[in-house]
Structure 1
């Protein structure tokens, strides 16, 4: 299994972020219900002053965006038989300022009570998708992915995917990620001297116990990164002797290793990747960089040779798209 296939298998889970998936459907419904409950949508005392009328409303964008959240809103509004939702665009579609996103028809009170919740979902998801596509173009051919700094959880991941990014792992059960606090606990419990020893201990403990699983470990030093590579390669001693083709074949039924270079400088990452690529196992290991990365320096990171850049800012600091709902 080559590296691009490994990345697609373990870091792109957008196929699971569909309404047809019961788990995703439950997440969408839970968020929607929470938003409506928080807004007391069923007790919109202003809308109650209006006579019940059938109206039509249009949702438009006030800026160029990548649309996202369409599938979610279309599904959620099916629960309201008194209104209908007609989408004009699909998730991931690039639309221009002034373009129509959807038309909502039906009971005026229902439309008004749902207006802000509908817009909040579309604005947030479209904002994330729009920013993701912008950064994806700056980083090409390096992949971009969110972290778990996702206030709206799977919906935020779905929005990143709509913009052309990876999803990374969807939740805590979706792959192993050994972070600094895990390593610190291992250091404390086992009287280990440094991160390098903790990395070695962690991988020796975990690798024999699991198969067909994504394993990622966070490192802050070159020594720790090489320790991870050493332990990973020692698990497959025959593969190295039998050649790269055999490595690719046998890794299909084992584990994927990702090394996260956390808070490194772009220069240090570039030098490390150039150096580590002489190792035969490097082609089967995914290298991810995270920390100290922003839009102003993305082009430098695109030239480092890493496979993935992960950024919490994609979701925790996303700027909402500027959309409006107007009664026709």
Structure 2
């Protein structure tokens, strides 16, 4: 579900950022041989994500620390429930506390938001996907959290697929020219997606044999017409101004995919604490 080598690299960089010359307070106050036990506790209801990543924090600091999962990623927890136990060096538990919490709080916030969106269209044949509107450097972890919450991933980066957007079309001259130029220069395994803003552009994208067509900022009635016009000749993705209130109406008209930037770009972190006992 995630690349463990990349996850370790992310955590190492974050640890360097947080204590490039050590932890002044902990190194002075805490005895080298002190051993403690601590609990991670959910301070509000939500869906947990990032426990294996939090474990990496403590393992990189001290491979003798024991990290015990009480809950698993994807589980719904209530306020006050324990989600993990950490046992080992007091110094290293304290050094990893903030980073581990920052990661699991953000990832759980994303998973909780994704879960709410997924529940909203339960029973429909429409997938909710994320976007590239992620925190720089944390995309892999945030997209993993989206999947934990029950939604799906769009492309991970600019290399994954072709997405011809409005500025590409303006620069080249037309949808047909853009698709033709791209198709001559990509592998047969690469999909081509085209962003359109009206039904005329939709027809152009269909005639150019685009694999996926993004309906950008269209109202429900226009999207309904777009579904009828396309008639399964391309995958239709609804995007722009997507809210949890509008999502069911979009799914009802039969679009295949709905991309939601809110899953990652402005999510509220879930409140989780770590307490030494």
**Residue pairs, 1:1-328, within 5 angstroms:** 17-18=1-2, 24-40=3-19, 43-48=22-27, 49-52=29-32, 53-79=34-60, 80-140=62-122, 141=124, 142-151=126-135, 152-187=138-173, 198-209=174-185, 210-232=187-209, 257-277=211-231, 282=232, 284-328=233-277
Instruction: Give CA deviations for 1:21-58 in whole Å, capped at 9, x if unaligned.
Output: xxx23432232123222222652111121223100000
Instruction: Give CA deviations for 1:35-90 in whole Å, capped at 9, x if unaligned.
Output: 22222265211112122310000001122221111222233433222422111122
Q: In 1, Cα distance between the equivalents of 2:192 and 2:52?
A: 32
Once the two structures are TM-superposed, the CA of residue 265 in structure 1 deviates from its matched residue by 1.2
CA contact (8 A) 1:128 1:314 kept: yes
Which consecutive segments of 4 or more residues in structure 1 shift more than 3 A?
Answer: none
CA contact (8 A) 1:139 1:301 kept: no
Q: In 2, Cα distance between the equivalents of 1:291 and 1:112?
A: 42
RMSD (CA atoms) = 1.7
Once the two structures are TM-superposed, the CA of residue 116 in structure 1 deviates from its matched residue by 0.6
Once the two structures are TM-superposed, the CA of residue 174 in structure 1 deviates from its matched residue by 1.1
Instruction: Give CA deviations for 1:275-295 in whole Å, capped at 9, x if unaligned.
Output: 432xxxx2x521001111112
Q: In 1, Cα distance between the equivalents of 2:9 and 2:59?
A: 15
CA contact (8 A) 1:138 1:302 kept: no
What is residue 9 of structure 1 aligned with on the other side? none
Q: In 2, Cα distance between the equivalents of 1:94 and 1:219?
A: 38
Q: In 2, Cα distance between the equivalents of 1:228 and 1:32?
A: 42
1:99/1:42 CA distance change after superposition, 3 Å = farther
Q: In 1, Cα distance between the equivalents of 2:75 and 2:142?
A: 17
| Structure with the largest fraction of helix | 1
1:229/1:309 CA distance change after superposition, 3 Å = same
Give the TM-score normalised by the residue count of structure 2.
0.91
Higher alpha-carbon deviation: 55-64 or 138-147: 138-147
Q: In 1, Cα distance between the equivalents of 2:106 and 2:30?
A: 30
Q: In 1, Cα distance between the equivalents of 2:150 and 2:20?
A: 34
Once the two structures are TM-superposed, the CA of residue 297 in structure 1 deviates from its matched residue by 2.2
Q: In 2, Cα distance between the equivalents of 1:41 and 1:103?
A: 27
Once the two structures are TM-superposed, the CA of residue 260 in structure 1 deviates from its matched residue by 0.4
In the alignment, structure 2 segments of 5+ residues that lack a partner are: none
Q: In 2, Cα distance between the equivalents of 1:41 and 1:66?
A: 32
SS in 2 for 1:296: coil
Q: In 1, Cα distance between the equivalents of 2:5 and 2:172?
A: 36
Higher alpha-carbon deviation: 296-305 or 222-231: 296-305
